[in-house]
Amino acid sequence: MRKTIIVIGLLGVASLTACKGGGSGNISQKWEVVYDNTARDSAFNAQIKGVDTMTAFPPDFIDMKAELAKMKPDSISTLPPEVVEMLKIEDLATLKAKIKENLMEGKKQQDSLEAKRAVIYDFQKNGVLKMYASDMPDQMVDTSTKYTADVKAKKLFLFANQAVVKGGEMANDTITFDILHLSGDSLSLKVDPKSKGVSGPSMKPMAFRLYKEEKKK
């Protein structure tokens, strides 16, 4: 349960009172995760720069080429064709171009997926937090978490849905979030660093906007 909460990364019926300093709103609605791709884009740019400044074949690449050379044809046939093709490259400029092409294609696919898929946090009135992807509402559904909220105190509490999670330490964990902002169309949460089971560097706030489902034609 904790993994699900933290990664998407990463409870009774909610109070509907106003959140001081953050407007007023109802938590018990469907909220769409708003991605902050700053870190991802920075990492991507760093990867591209690393390829551009490459002056020799990476040691791992050289080792893999050597392993390929020792393999028999029937063993090579079990490898992905694109891997074999790349390992047969002998020119550094060609390798760099291929790596950049793969990086660009991966980013394009990720951007396309995010454009058509919203991650939804449905804080249901029965106290269950239902998490799912908008393009697969009947699949990839997680109802292992419940919630309670004290909007006046700006606190949200997530814990295991005992009807789904059975036994183990995680079943008894409660993770506390600070409600940084709540209005009619936006929500911002951040894990309380003092919450049980939370460790490591401080996590960035999670931002949401009110999810508006497309009307079926």
Give the pLDDT confidence of 133-178 residue by residue, as tens digits.
Answer: 988 888 889 999 999 999 999 999 999 998 888 765 555 678 999 9
Q: How much is the pTM?
A: 0.65
CA nearest 122: which of 21, 26, 1? Answer: 26
Rounded-to-integer distance, Cα 108 and Cα 185, Å: 29
* pLDDT tens readout for residues 82-136: 999 999 999 999 999 999 999 999 999 988 888 888 999 999 999 999 999 988 8
d(CA 21, CA 183): 10
- Rounded CA-CA distance 36/33 in Å is 9
**Encoding tokens for residue 132?**
């799912």
Q: Where are the domains of the chain?
A: 30-35+118-210, 40-115
The Cα-based distances of 44 to 37, 58, 191 in angstroms read: 10, 18, 27
